[in-house]
Each structure stands twice: as structure tokens, then as C-alpha cells.
Amino acid sequence: MTFSELVKARYSVRKFSDKPIEPEKLNAVLEAARLAPTAKNLQPVHVYVVASPQGMEKMRTLTPCHYGAPVVLIFAKNTQEEWHHPQEDLTSGSEDVAIAATHAMLAATDQGLGTCWVKFFVP
Ligand SMILES: Cc1cc2nc3c(=O)[nH]c(=O)nc-3n(C[C@H](O)[C@H](O)[C@H](O)COP(=O)(O)O)c2cc1C
């Protein structure tokens, strides 16, 4: 797949099969996230892989947008590690997270895996 075919192929999946994800495919997705650029290369992004039955049960209580995914990746930033502007009240961790998650989503498409970016969590 060329890059332009890849970006056209990606779409939000809202119904997943319960087929387990091959570890090498998951590793390729995580590696793409790891290689994403971050402000000043501070790498404040942390990715939590939720795949256990207990973890999935917890995810179902946190969001209605679970869609039966066999694996959930939680992208987070460490606010102690993100870049802070020296004079202004500005940080770059959220951008770093978004870039890493986008890398991961496109890598998943490249591996033949479906994804859906979910922001809606029950407060
Ligand atoms: C920041 C962001 C938050 C999103 N949150 C959700 C969400 O909570 N639930 C959901 O089903 N889709 C969510 N989406 C997916 C969008 O609805 C979807 O990307 C958009 O409708 C375009 O469709 P496509 O991904 O199939 O191209 C989110 C996407 C982004 C970029």
C-alpha cells in the first residue's frame, strides 16, 4: 500500500471482531507510536496497552465507545516530561500525544487492523 492508499484506507471502525491481535502486529503499531516526533524530543508520551479481560471490563465502564475492541491503547502524557515554553503558559504534550496516536492508527491500518480514536469517556 502506498502512503496515499493508506490514508484513504483508514476509517473509524465501530464494530470489532473478537479475533486476537497478533503480537507482531501490535508491536509494529507501538513501534510507530514510539518513533513519532515530540517537542524537543522529550518523549512525554506513554502508551498503556489494555488487553486483559479485567482491563476490557473496566474500559466498558469508562466509555460507551468500546465497540468490542480486543485491544485498547491509552495515550497519555507525563506533564513533568512535556516541553514547557520558558516564558509563556504553553506546553506541547497534547500535540505529542496526538501525533503518536496518529502514527499508531496509520500503522494499524498498514497491518490490516481496524481502529477508532475515542475521546468520549464517562466523567
Ligand atoms: C479527537 C477525536 C476524538 C474522537 N472521539 C470519538 C469518540 O469518542 N467516539 C467515536 O466513536 N469516534 C470518535 N472519533 C472518530 C471520529 O468521529 C471520526 O474520525 C470522524 O467521524 C471521521 O470518520 P473516519 O475516521 O471514518 O474518517 C474521534 C476522532 C478524533 C480525531
pLDDT in the model for residue 86: 96
CATH for 43: 3.40.109.10
Give mean pLDDT, residues 21-39. Answer: 98
pLDDT of residue 18: 81
Query: Which residue range is the domain that position 85 belongs to?
Result: 16-110
List the residue whose alpha carbon is closest to atom 13 of ligand 1.
Answer: 118
- Whether 40 is covered by a domain: the verdict is yes
The dihedrals phi and psi of 47, each to the nearest 5 degrees, come to: -115, 125
**What pLDDT, in 10s, does the model give residues 87-117?**
999 999 999 999 999 999 999 999 999 999 9
Q: What is the pLDDT of residue 51?
A: 95
Task: Tell whether 7 is covered by a domain.
Answer: no
Question: What is the count of structural domains for the chain?
Answer: 1
What does the pLDDT look like over 52-79, one tens digit per residue? 999 999 999 999 999 999 999 999 999 9
What CA–CA distance (Å, rounded) separates 53 from 7?
A: 31
Q: Confirm if 73 and 49 have CB atoms less than 8 A apart.
A: yes
Q: Is 70 part of any domain?
A: yes
In a domain, 2, yes or no: no
Residue 50 has a pLDDT of: 97
Q: Whose CA is nearest to atom 19 of ligand 1?
A: 12
Pocket test for ligand 1, best of 7, 10, 12, 121 (most atoms within 8 A of CB): 12
Tell me what pLDDT residue 123 has.
87
CA of 60 to the centre of ligand 1 (A): 18
pTM beyond cutoff 0.85:
yes
Domain assignment present for residue 54? The answer is: yes
Coil, strand or helix: which one is 79?
coil
- Write out pLDDT tens, residues 7-26: 999 999 999 998 999 999 99
Residue 121 is assigned to a structural domain of this protein: no
